[in-house]
């Protein structure tokens, strides 16, 4: 059976620990100087190395290759091998999520008083220790405060604020930080080269940004994308991770920049139709606006960017948008985030938010009235075919193809008749208000335009 990447490349010594240099140095000095504390508290986000470090530390303390704890455990002695497969008699590793009661804590305190069988220390690793009940933590308190000389407690948690202050104050605390994007990319590239995974550098960067500083999540996603054929691209990574692709986010930004309501709402509807949630769309836009702000303030700090839009595209947009526009967009997105989270109709609030992102100042200028040309019908009015072609020319890019499937048969200033293929009739009827507004702008009509669709077979 093939071992998953996060297990196959799990660090085996403190030297192999990724992205935690201060913790690596402190624990190494503790082993070298033989200054072992009775209790340690490892805190930080998931996938940053807390449990792996606890096991490495346990192996270093109990390695039998030397007469005292060593910095580089051999990995071959009976103690090292038993710790690696989690069946050591001297190292007890418990999951507080399933053993969180006061009876479990009392049983543990009774067990630690026994002398170690093979190694020098009896080590207790409590994973997700914040899930211990208050009674269970209080039962461990006395043992952690004054343990036997041969006992070392290592408590691991992602939520340190739930650990009783009386417990935390009796431990040496180590804060495992989220890994930097550059650190994750370098480690992923090293593994990809070893495993012969063909993947673009930008795709590795996308993985690093999507995993929120957790190396385990990054390795899981790398193991997933390696199943794709050919070279892995950025869009494939984002699609597998369930995110919003760069092209879709650029469609939003271009529609906002052009003050194009039709394209803006159409892009949102298309994403929702393929399964993207309003919350995901909004959070992706929020990240993009945040990146635009960073690009304006510090254009050379590309490692700070988190959205799926490339830095080159962000810089091009940031040059056109004012600082006030981006700030106003961020404020609107932040306000709408709470509305979407607690609303029963998230899609409506998303559309309201998108409309509020449109610039409030100069609206999109109305196209001038069509001038007479060789294409007019002889009575001073432009022909329906020529008018319809002008409408198609000014339509958003994603709407041109649909509009080209119809032919305007007549137009009298406030009423237009179209010939439409049957398979496109529903789409035209659904988008009739937007099409009418486009015609109104191009033809400079003061009144609203009504549309009539007739089924025909177009050549």
- The pLDDT confidence band at residue 369, using thresholds 50, 70 and 90, is very low
Q: Is the pLDDT of residue 113 over 90?
A: no
| CATH architecture of residue range(s) 181-240 | Orthogonal Bundle (1.10)
Provide the pLDDT for residue 253: 92
Domain ranges for the chain: 5-175, 181-240, 246-357, 384-455
- Strands (E) in 141-261, as ranges, are 151-157, 172-175
- The pLDDT confidence band at residue 381, using thresholds 50, 70 and 90, is low
Encoding tokens for residue 376?
Answer: 């007019």
Nearest-angstrom CA–CA distance, 12 and 297: 41
- Strands (E) in 287-360, as ranges, are none
Provide the pLDDT for residue 376: 47
DSSP letter (8 states) at residue 180: P
Q: For 384-455, which CATH superfamily applies?
A: DnaA, N-terminal domain (3.30.300.180)
pLDDT digits (tens, 9 = 90+) for 385-434: 888 888 888 887 777 778 888 888 888 877 888 888 777 788 888 888 88
Provide the pLDDT for residue 457: 53
5-175 topology per CATH: Rossmann fold (3.40.50)
Q: Is the pLDDT of residue 364 over 50?
A: no
CA neighbours closer than 13 Å in the CB half-sphere of residue 436: 18
Provide the pLDDT for residue 63: 92
Residue 88: CB atoms within 10 A of its CB come to 25
- The residue ranking higher by pLDDT, 363 or 274, is 274
Residue with tokens 């050379």: 300
Q: What is the mean pLDDT of residues 67-95?
A: 89
**Range in 269-278, 302-311, 365-374, 412-421 the model is least confident about:** 365-374
| CATH architecture of residue range(s) 246-357 | Up-down Bundle (1.20)
CA nearest neighbour of 242 among 200, 279, 214: 279
**Range in 29-43, 189-203, 308-322 the model is least confident about:** 308-322
pLDDT digits (tens, 9 = 90+) for 174-189: 999 999 888 999 999 9
H/E/C letters for each residue in 389-430? HHHHHHCCHHHHHHHCCEEEEEECCCEEEEEECHHHHHHHHH
Mean pLDDT of the chain: 85
Model confidence, pTM: 0.67
């Amino acid at each position: 059976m093939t071992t998953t990447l996060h297990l196959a490349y799990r660090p085996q010594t403190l030297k192999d620990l990724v992205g935690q240099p201060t913790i690596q140095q402190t624990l190494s000095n503790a082993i070298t100087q033989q200054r072992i504390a009775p209790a340690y508290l490892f805190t930080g986000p998931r996938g940053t190395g807390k449990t792996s470090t606890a096991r490495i530390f346990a192996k270093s303390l109990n390695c039998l290759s030397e007469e005292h704890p060593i910095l580089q455990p051999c990995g071959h002695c009976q103690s090292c091998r038993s710790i690696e497969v989690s069946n050591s008699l001297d190292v007890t590793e418990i999951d507080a999520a399933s053993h969180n009661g006061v009876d479990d804590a009392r049983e543990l305190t009774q067990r630690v008083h026994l002398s170690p069988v093979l190694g020098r220390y009896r080590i207790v690793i409590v994973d997700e220790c914040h899930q211990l009940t208050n009674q269970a933590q209080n039962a461990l308190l006395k043992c952690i405060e004054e343990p036997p000389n041969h006992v070392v407690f290592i408590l691991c948690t992602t939520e340190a604020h739930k650990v009783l202050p009386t417990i935390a104050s009796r431990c040496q605390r180590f804060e495992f930080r989220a890994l930097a994007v550059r650190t994750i990319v370098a480690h992923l590239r090293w593994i990809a080269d070893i495993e012969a995974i063909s993947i673009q550098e930008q795709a590795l960067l996308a993985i690093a940004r999507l995993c929120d500083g957790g190396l385990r999540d990054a390795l899981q996603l790398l193991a997933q994308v390696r199943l794709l054929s050919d070279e892995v691209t950025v869009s494939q990574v984002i699609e597998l991770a369930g995110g919003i692709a760069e092209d879709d986010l650029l469609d939003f930004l271009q529609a906002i920049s052009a003050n194009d309501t039709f394209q803006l709402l159409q892009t949102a509807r298309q994403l929702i139709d393929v399964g993207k949630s309003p919350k995901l769309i909004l959070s992706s836009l929020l990240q993009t606006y945040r990146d635009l702000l960073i690009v304006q303030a510090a254009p050379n700090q590309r490692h700070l960017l988190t959205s799926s839009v490339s830095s080159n595209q962000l810089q091009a947009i940031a040059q056109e948008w004012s600082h006030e526009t981006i700030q106003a967009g961020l404020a609107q997105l932040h306000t709408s985030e709470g509305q979407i989270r607690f609303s029963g109709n998230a899609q409506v609030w998303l559309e309201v938010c998108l409309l509020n992102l449109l610039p409030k100042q100069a609206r999109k200028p109305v196209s001038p009235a069509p001038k007479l040309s060789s294409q007019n019908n002889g009575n001073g009015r432009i022909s329906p075919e020529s008018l319809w072609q002008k409408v198609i020319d000014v339509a958003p890019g994603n709407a041109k193809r649909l509009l080209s499937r119809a032919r305007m048969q007549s137009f009298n200033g406030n009423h237009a008749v179209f010939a439409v293929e049957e398979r496109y009739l529903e789409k035209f009827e659904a988008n009739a208000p937007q099409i009418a507004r486009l015609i109104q702008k191009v033809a400079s009509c003061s009144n609203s335009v009504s549309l009539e669709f007739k089924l025909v077979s177009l050549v």
